[in-house]
Amino acid sequence: MLAYELHNEPDFAALTRVERPSPPLSPHDVRVRVRAVSLNYRDLNIARSMQRRPKGRPVVPASDGAGEVVEIGSAVSRLATGDRVAALFFPDWHDGELTAVYHTRALGGTCDGMLAEEVVLDERAWVRLPAHLSYEEGATLPCAGVTAWNALFESAGVGPGSTVLVQGTGGVSIFALQLAKAAGAQVVVTSKSDAKRARARQMGADHVIDYVATPKWGDDARAWTGGRGVDVVVEVGGPGTFDQSVAALRHAGTMSLLGVLTGLSGEVNTYGLFQKGLHVCGIYVGSGRMFEALNRALSTNTIHPVIDRVFGFDQVRAAYEHLASGTHFGKVVIRVS
Amino acid sequence: MLAYELHNEPDFAALTRVERPSPPLSPHDVRVRVRAVSLNYRDLNIARSMQRRPKGRPVVPASDGAGEVVEIGSAVSRLATGDRVAALFFPDWHDGELTAVYHTRALGGTCDGMLAEEVVLDERAWVRLPAHLSYEEGATLPCAGVTAWNALFESAGVGPGSTVLVQGTGGVSIFALQLAKAAGAQVVVTSKSDAKRARARQMGADHVIDYVATPKWGDDARAWTGGRGVDVVVEVGGPGTFDQSVAALRHAGTMSLLGVLTGLSGEVNTYGLFQKGLHVCGIYVGSGRMFEALNRALSTNTIHPVIDRVFGFDQVRAAYEHLASGTHFGKVVIRVS
Amino acid sequence: MLAYELHNEPDFAALTRVERPSPPLSPHDVRVRVRAVSLNYRDLNIARSMQRRPKGRPVVPASDGAGEVVEIGSAVSRLATGDRVAALFFPDWHDGELTAVYHTRALGGTCDGMLAEEVVLDERAWVRLPAHLSYEEGATLPCAGVTAWNALFESAGVGPGSTVLVQGTGGVSIFALQLAKAAGAQVVVTSKSDAKRARARQMGADHVIDYVATPKWGDDARAWTGGRGVDVVVEVGGPGTFDQSVAALRHAGTMSLLGVLTGLSGEVNTYGLFQKGLHVCGIYVGSGRMFEALNRALSTNTIHPVIDRVFGFDQVRAAYEHLASGTHFGKVVIRVS
Amino acid sequence: MLAYELHNEPDFAALTRVERPSPPLSPHDVRVRVRAVSLNYRDLNIARSMQRRPKGRPVVPASDGAGEVVEIGSAVSRLATGDRVAALFFPDWHDGELTAVYHTRALGGTCDGMLAEEVVLDERAWVRLPAHLSYEEGATLPCAGVTAWNALFESAGVGPGSTVLVQGTGGVSIFALQLAKAAGAQVVVTSKSDAKRARARQMGADHVIDYVATPKWGDDARAWTGGRGVDVVVEVGGPGTFDQSVAALRHAGTMSLLGVLTGLSGEVNTYGLFQKGLHVCGIYVGSGRMFEALNRALSTNTIHPVIDRVFGFDQVRAAYEHLASGTHFGKVVIRVS
């Protein structure tokens, strides 16, 4: 089968198409013909940084993919051939809280990922796709969709009448916009692009802020709520946006912290956190149970993930470059087969 | 001012219109001109049962009312004359869990209620009405609306993709239907009336069950979910419906228990509760904070309470009799002034 | 190897010693030489009731056992030979909430249990014993210990200054007494036996009640708390004790419901549940994560399970009869090898 | 009556003894003869920083005090003369989450505090002292004691077998040590002083770290837990200690953030927060309900607050200077009358 591997080259030139043998199948394993893969910001970092890859062997990149079950092991009871499935970002995290051991197997990072024609994983590492989604749409769920779910409904309790602020219009933020609107919440979106703000409006955003024109966008968001503050911020920026998120939040509100767009560390206002009695929840994707809850939410509300552009399996570097350009709105997808 | 009191007469004949002096106003008090009152099943019980009323003095009935602030005490800072408000069922329960002391002041039960032209309560016992609601609509919120909110969003975490079962089409159940749909959930409604089931469908119910034709409606509901079971049951029936609610629920699901329509006690399946690892949450209305959260939900989603019929202030007994007939769909309201 | 099976005989005569082949070992499996088994009330029910056993084949009884790892599969990474371990009651419930699928594999019920010289299970179905416990002590943990942990610390938040009521002096109740005292809580114990009440006192019970002399023991417990009520009741009786548990609890308190000693169903006071805003949590043992948390609690506080009596592997029926007699205080154990 | 006020002088010279009229008493008010006051780090900041005091009038400093009820208003039902009480840090925060409005009345900050012979507050702003505590001991509870309670048992779920790390040996940290031990947890204490570490050991600390000799004390703490990490850090340092706290914590652990000893903001590792899925809970004292829960914990476990030194009412500046010196272990108290 064909697959991409990250080889010892600078930047996206590391992405190398190779022929690999079909992986073997143990009794509890399920073999999936991958149909589509979607990219995340994390995939850019791993492609660019050799430190973040396993040592001594090339790794197949990309955590997020969907496909069709083509073979099942002798002990498999939960899936059948023909099932349409996506893989868990952490194949071993089925339920409960994050533990250190799950990090030892993360698709496209500490173990081989989805950018391949075939992937074999334990039956519990797969979840069925919602029936109304295509493979391209399903491929966007494992990281961005599950992260947005976790940020809104596991780490916080977003519901009707809640107010949620999302930063920008990347994959997680757009999922969060869609899910929060489906939950009956109000949503504030920040973006420096007129066109993206307009599109966010069309998707239901109740208030949009140009964060370049309004550097104190946190104060603006709080003022828009009548001074009370927003209930939840989906914090994808990290240290560079942290303090305005603190400013935006109501007392006892929740910052769902999941991104590094502005860096791994930086100066932040820790006093504000306790003066307001805030909760900061670090979010690293989520469990299989959360993925299934996300799928029920998407099905019940007929939500379609927003796909920015679909690339072919021979356009992988172009897909990475497009995501790196930051011009996208929603998800960047690669059709595999 | 005019008010109704419960006098020492059998049944609804106890409802007696009297002239009362205007209540005095302390520094933290707010005087409200009541415009509308809504009735709850509890009001029927209190009118019929002398044991449930305070001894030695007539009590003004009805917990739920809305009106206009006409005078504020010298120390009042949260409200102003002209504000449109409703009262808390428990005037002292502002936040946190239910405690015994809140029961010592429950409107229309252990202290005077809302069926009067004027009511004076501490400023913290009032919440502002959502701007899109009339007084008649606002009068339905304090007990039925807050109870439904508590049942879905405080005692359980209903959100997009959840499945909720509501029993019948009384006030709490219809609020629960509206709120659960606003939250992106699926809703199952039981009713023996073809017309009421059809109306529930129109309001968004995803599945309806005739509980007379299908006595094992719990099994039917579970089957409709594909065997998984519903996440939450809003249990208004009590012991007579309890076991089918257990049957309907998924493992680790929640029964929000709040009603006595079938009695105060009865034989129930306690084994099922722990075999399934269920949570039963007893719900007695809710706090001021919950009321404010409900109002944000109603405003954000432009939800209008369903009013079955509005009676005049001189038709109070007829209003009670209409509620007692069980033919209503939604709330029975009395216009006061 | 030797094992007991439940054969088609009335009552404890069903317990039959047989020779079985050593079970095979898959790559993720761990083979354990069982050293000790403890009995639970559930084991009596299963031995007595043919309906509760798998059809068409004899089942090895008993969920709770401890032993030594004697062989590991080729892919096992978490355990090594020589490790001292106990099995999970539900071998597939590692973390998160109870789901229906876990019930399809419950040791000594829907699948073979621990009353055998050797048991083979997936590596994740075993947890290491605390170092200070013997095998006999370790064998008491999987059902009774984990259930008590779940009742106090997962379904409720028992901590310093909490008040807990435990019913009787069976296995779960004595664990709950020990763990609640270790958590800095006050404990009320009910027992009809003077000797058992005295022993509970010695173990730290702050208040004891003779439930025969004081049939309204719930009122007595509430009075002992100064009228506030207890925070948590560990409800092992079921319907026959339910109403006094409701009476004992404070408003918004928690009943951890886990037993059927007085029946599978019965008449209970559902009104009291919502008048007090109570939480009833059905508890069916617990997950592997809970088991590990229990073990840390036992280790940190050097708690030794209370063993009533240890029987030999050739005294299995006598062990069952002793438990059935109800004269025990703490756990009944069988030494296997 | 005599009282201290913060006047327009540099540093602790601002502390000025004055004669004030006895405050008037409204119907719901309670007059307390203050017997003892304790100091917190916050009191030093307010004394030193004119920006943190109300404008245009001198404020009575200090949030924490205890005394005897000497007069009650006509409508008071919860307290009687002779009752031994302490005041809530936030007199209006009785239950539920922190809201912005509570900050508008904080004793010794936004409103007059306890360093006076008499204080009048609404009856709900007082809680009864545990019977086993002196007034000096009781005066240490409102800020330091309640904060420690909130950090361990409200924001986290510390129980038997948990591991807690506390920084240093100030008031909150010593309360946290005592309460965590009472809860059956293990405790790690950091201190640069040999004598203080030895004393922490005597009080039950399971592991102590010299943070000067071991700058990576977070790694040391995690190693001491066998690599798993601690469950909870009571973070009193702020930005300067934040990253080692992240290093110390287990995945999905909780940082209870409540201090500014190293500054109001600074560079921190936000990546670590989400890589580990951590929860950061900002803690600003706590509610009246939490205070009552603390008192039950202290009573049940006969815990006495650790008092470093008691000063006279004419030694107030010396008391402030002693706290500022950082040589204390536990609380600094002023006897008022």
- Per-position DSSP letters for A184-216, written without gaps between them: T-EEEEE-S-HHHHHHHHHTT-SEEE-TTT-TT
Q: Can you list the pairs that C51-54 forms with residues at least 24 positions away whose Cβ atoms lie under 8 Å?
A: C52/C109, C53/C6, C53/C109, C54/C110, C54/C111
Tokens coding C37: 């088994």
The residue among B180, B221, B239 whose CA lies nearest residue B204 is B180
Model confidence at C54: pLDDT above 80: no
Pairwise CA distance, residues C143 & D92, whole Å: 45
- Cα within 13 Å of Cα(D249), Cβ side: 29
| Residue C166: strand pairing partners | C189, C234
At residue A202's C-alpha, the angle toward residues B179 and A295, to 5°, is 50
Residues 6 or more apart whose Cβ sits within 8 Å of residue C56: none
pLDDT digits (tens, 9 = 90+) for B266-319: 999 999 999 999 999 999 999 999 999 999 999 999 999 999 999 999 999 999
Q: How far is A169 from chain C (nearest CA, A)?
A: 32
Residues 6 or more apart whose Cβ sits within 8 Å of residue A194: A210
Q: What is the ipTM of this complex?
A: 0.95
Residue B96 has its nearest CB partner, among D26, D27, D289, at: D289
Q: Quote the crossing angle between the two packed helices A288-300 and A171-182, to the nearest 10°.
A: 60
Would you state the pLDDT for residue A55? 74
Q: Which chains touch A (3 or more CB pairs under 8 A)?
A: B, C, D
Pair D189, D176: CB distance under 8 Å? no
Tokens coding A33: 């013909």
At residue B78's C-alpha, the angle toward residues B72 and B81, to 5°, is 40
Indicate the SS3 state at residue B155.
Answer: coil
Tokens coding B74: 């010298």
Q: What are phi and psi of C120, to 5 degrees?
A: -115, 125
Would you state the pLDDT for residue D245? 97
Residues of chain C contacting residue D159, judged by C-beta atoms under 8 Å apart? 153, 157-159, 183, 297
Mean pLDDT of chain D: 95
Would you state the pLDDT for residue D337? 87
pLDDT digits (tens, 9 = 90+) for C254-269: 999 998 788 888 999 9
Pairwise CA distance, residues C168 & C172, whole Å: 9
Q: How many residues belong to chain D?
A: 337
Percent pLDDT > 70 in chain A is 100
Pairwise CA distance, residues C63 & C83, whole Å: 20
Residue D160 has its nearest CB partner, among C161, C162, C301, at: C301
Mean pLDDT of the D29-43 span: 97
Percent pLDDT > 70 in chain B is 99
Pairwise CA distance, residues D337 & B171, whole Å: 58
Q: What are phi and psi of B60, to 5 degrees?
A: -75, 125
Pair C183, D160: CB distance under 8 Å? yes
Confidence band, pLDDT 50/70/90 cuts, at residue B33: very high
Confidence band, pLDDT 50/70/90 cuts, at residue A134: very high
At residue B109's C-alpha, the angle toward residues B108 and B112, to 5°, is 45
Question: Sign (positive/negative) of CA torsion D131, D134, D139, D145?
Answer: negative
Pairwise CA distance, residues C66 & C151, whole Å: 22
What's the DSSP call for residue C116? B
Residue B270 has its nearest CB partner, among C238, C252, C281, at: C238
Q: Where are the alpha helices (DSSP H) in chain B?
A: 41-48, 135-138, 146-149, 171-182, 194-202, 217-224, 239-248, 270-275, 288-300, 316-325
Pairwise CA distance, residues A189 & A163, whole Å: 11
- Could you tell me the CA-to-CA distances from D62 to A143, D3, D33, D102 in Å, in that order? 50, 11, 15, 17
Mean pLDDT of the A135-164 span: 98
Would you state the pLDDT for residue B315? 97
Nearest chain A alpha carbon to D279: A281
Q: What are phi and psi of B252, to 5 degrees?
A: 65, 20
Would you state the pLDDT for residue B259? 83
What's the DSSP call for residue A88? -
Element (H, E) at D79: none
Confidence band, pLDDT 50/70/90 cuts, at residue D243: very high
Q: Give, rounded to a whole angstrom, the gap between the first and last alpha carbons of chain C.
A: 11
Percent pLDDT > 90 in chain A is 91
- Amino acid in the structure at residue C265: S
Exposed / middle / buried, residue D59 (Cβ in 10 Å: 0-12, 13-18, 19+): buried
Exposed / middle / buried, residue D227 (Cβ in 10 Å: 0-12, 13-18, 19+): exposed
| Residue B279: strand pairing partners | B254, C281
Q: Does A184 contact B183 at a Cβ distance shorter than 8 Å?
A: yes
Confidence band, pLDDT 50/70/90 cuts, at residue D163: very high
Would you state the pLDDT for residue B57? 83
Pairwise CA distance, residues C159 & C185, whole Å: 6
pLDDT digits (tens, 9 = 90+) for D304-331: 999 999 999 999 999 999 999 988 888 9
Model confidence at D9: pLDDT above 90: no
- Cα within 13 Å of Cα(D73), Cβ side: 16
Mean pLDDT of the A245-272 span: 93
Confidence band, pLDDT 50/70/90 cuts, at residue C8: confident
Pairwise CA distance, residues A230 & A214, whole Å: 17
Q: How many residues belong to chain B?
A: 337
pLDDT digits (tens, 9 = 90+) for C25-39: 999 999 999 999 999
Confidence band, pLDDT 50/70/90 cuts, at residue A10: confident
Pair B199, B177: CB distance under 8 Å? no
pLDDT digits (tens, 9 = 90+) for C160-180: 999 999 999 999 999 999 999
Pair A90, A146: CB distance under 8 Å? no
What's the DSSP call for residue A111? B
Nearest chain B alpha carbon to A206: B300
Pair C320, C15: CB distance under 8 Å? yes
Alpha-carbon Rg for chain D, nearest whole angstrom, is 20
Q: Give, rounded to a whole angstrom, the gap between the first and last alpha carbons of chain B.
A: 11
Q: What are phi and psi of A71, to 5 degrees?
A: -160, 140
Q: What are phi and psi of D261, to 5 degrees?
A: -60, -30
Would you state the pLDDT for residue D198? 97
The residue among D64, B175, A169 whose CA lies nearest residue B187 is B175
Residue D96 has its nearest CB partner, among B26, B27, B95, at: B95
Pairwise CA distance, residues B152 & C74, whole Å: 48
pLDDT digits (tens, 9 = 90+) for C119-132: 999 999 999 999 99
Tokens coding D132: 């086993």
Which residues of B touch chain A, with CB atoms under 8 Å apart?
153, 157-162, 179, 182-186, 293-301
Would you state the pLDDT for residue B49? 80
Pair D90, D124: CB distance under 8 Å? no
Best probe of the A interface among C95, C98, C104, C291, by most A CBs < 10 A, is C95
Query: Beta strand pairing status for A186-190 and D29-38?
Result: unpaired
Element (H, E) at D119: strand D118-122
pLDDT digits (tens, 9 = 90+) for D254-277: 999 998 788 888 999 999 999 999
Tokens coding A156: 């916080």
Nearest chain B alpha carbon to A187: B300
Its pTM stands at 0.97
At residue C203's C-alpha, the angle toward residues C199 and C209, to 5°, is 55
Best probe of the D interface among A273, A275, A285, A287, by most D CBs < 10 A, is A273
Confidence band, pLDDT 50/70/90 cuts, at residue A40: very high
Mean pLDDT of the D131-152 span: 98
Would you state the pLDDT for residue C292? 98
What's the DSSP call for residue C107? B
Would you state the pLDDT for residue A145? 98
Neighbouring CB atoms inside 10 A of C302's CB total: 10
Residue C95 has its nearest CB partner, among A26, A27, A96, at: A96
Pairwise CA distance, residues C180 & B335, whole Å: 54
Confidence band, pLDDT 50/70/90 cuts, at residue B261: confident
Q: Does B301 contact A184 at a Cβ distance shorter than 8 Å?
A: yes
Best probe of the C interface among B41, B110, B242, B273, by most C CBs < 10 A, is B273
Tokens coding A214: 């309004």
Tell me the helix, strand and coil percentages in chain B, rounded to 5: 30, 25, 40
